[in-house]
Structure 1
């Protein structure tokens, strides 16, 4: 059974391949995202493609948000996996109204723990908490439907 965590991991792999290889986004989608067996779950494949393309489309903005919250450190010096996980999570915070912010952050932490260093989970959590607070204060977090769950749980 494929779930959204597996989809996010696939998107991470696709972004990693795109970053390091000389492939077009469409080639990456064809070889990595479409290779996954989403056949029974068309909604999950659409989510994977939307997340991949939207993360690429807003890469510069997502990196600027991350850079604002890493003190005395250049974003290019971050581990590539951490940088990509942060891009995916911040993209979800900003551009996926139906996904609760806590879900995006928790998923990013778990994926970072699995694919990056031992300290990555705490690092990702700190950056995303600071980014969420900042984006929320700027009025840039707009959640609808299920995405509102966090607001109704007292946060």
Structure 2
């Protein structure tokens, strides 16, 4: 869905502003997300909720990502890749109506636009591994027909 992709891109930019500038969340929402999405209230609310869910649960989300980084520390990752991983993991855990394969595909496609040539494959590998573990741990709670996918290969 193009509108949700635009929302995810706005969230990526807001997370980047938060990561680099350490500003107030309210100011970041007002200056980064709102101008891009102000003509669609529903999409703006989706982006705002996603951004806040990530910043409020960042420690837990980062722990999940770190578990799947072999011989790497989270802080060494490309900033855009790290932020895209946070977005997708948040959707896995907290957005029961978004299929996991959609979250993975969106992260890969946005990485192709904003990150390095190798980022799509890297993000796919980390998310596939994290999803497998989260499923084993019973932490994925998706509702609706066909919403649970265990793997997505780009």
The interval holding the TM-score normalised by the smaller chain is over 0.9
Q: Could you report, residue by residue, the CA deviation over 1:55-96 in whole angstroms, capped at 9, with x for unpaired residues? A: 101111111111100100111000010000000000000000
TM-score by length of structure 2 reads 0.92
Aligned residue runs from structure 1 range 35-114, under 5 A: 35-39=35-39, 41-114=40-113
Match of 2:146 among 127, 146, 149: 149
Count of residue correspondences: 150
Instruction: Give the corresponding residue for 2:32.
Output: 32
1:140 aligns with 2:139: yes
How much has 1:125 moved relative to structure 2? 0.1
Structure 1 runs (4+) greater than 4 angstroms displaced:
none
Partners of 1:135 and 1:37 lie apart in 2 by: 31
Partners of 1:51 and 1:144 lie apart in 2 by: 18
TM-score by length of structure 1 reads 0.92
Question: SS state of the match for residue 36, structure 1?
Answer: helix
Question: SS state of the match for residue 99, structure 1?
Answer: coil
Partners of 1:70 and 1:140 lie apart in 2 by: 19
* RMSD of aligned Cα (Å): 1.7
Unaligned runs of 5+ in 1: none
Partners of 2:42 and 2:22 lie apart in 1 by: 28
Q: Could you report, residue by residue, the CA deviation over 1:101-132 in whole angstroms, capped at 9, with x for unpaired residues? A: 00000000111111111000000000000000
Partners of 1:66 and 1:22 lie apart in 2 by: 21
Unaligned runs of 5+ in 2: none
